[in-house]
């Protein structure tokens, strides 16, 4: 289990990235919303989709969920 966050600020391409605790790219995120503990990035992405319509996994910490 890992704790996930979604970036409150979208990428230039419009999607909000989902990160795990400890991701190096999370340190650069100015504002984020906690998504709680999840078994995998797939569940975390579903939780993030309730907050933001356009979500994607981070390429660094959640490559399995990175599509764009």
Residues that bind Zn ion (CB under 5 A): 19, 23, 25, 58, 60-61
Whichever of 25 and 53 has its CB closer to Zn ion, that residue is 25
20 DSSP β-pair partners: 4
How far apart are CB 62 and Zn ion at their closest, in Å?
Answer: 6
Q: 15 CB contacts (<8 Å, ≥6 apart)?
A: 54, 55, 56, 68
Cβ-closest residue to Zn ion? 58
Whichever of 55 and 58 has its CB closer to Zn ion, that residue is 58
How far apart are CB 8 and Zn ion at their closest, in Å?
Answer: 14
> Under a CB-based contact definition with an 8 Å cutoff, are residues 34 and 44 in contact?
no
Integer Cα distance of 21 and 54 in angstroms? 21
How far apart are CB 32 and Zn ion at their closest, in Å?
Answer: 11
């Amino acid at each position: 289990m890992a704790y996930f966050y979604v970036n409150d600020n979208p990428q230039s391409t419009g999607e909000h990235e989902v990160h795990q605790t400890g991701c190096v790219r999370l340190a650069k995120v100015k504002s984020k919303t906690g998504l709680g503990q999840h078994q995998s990035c797939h569940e975390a992405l579903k939780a993030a989709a309730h907050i933001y319509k356009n979500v994607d996994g981070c390429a660094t910490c959640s490559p399995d969920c990175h599509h764009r």
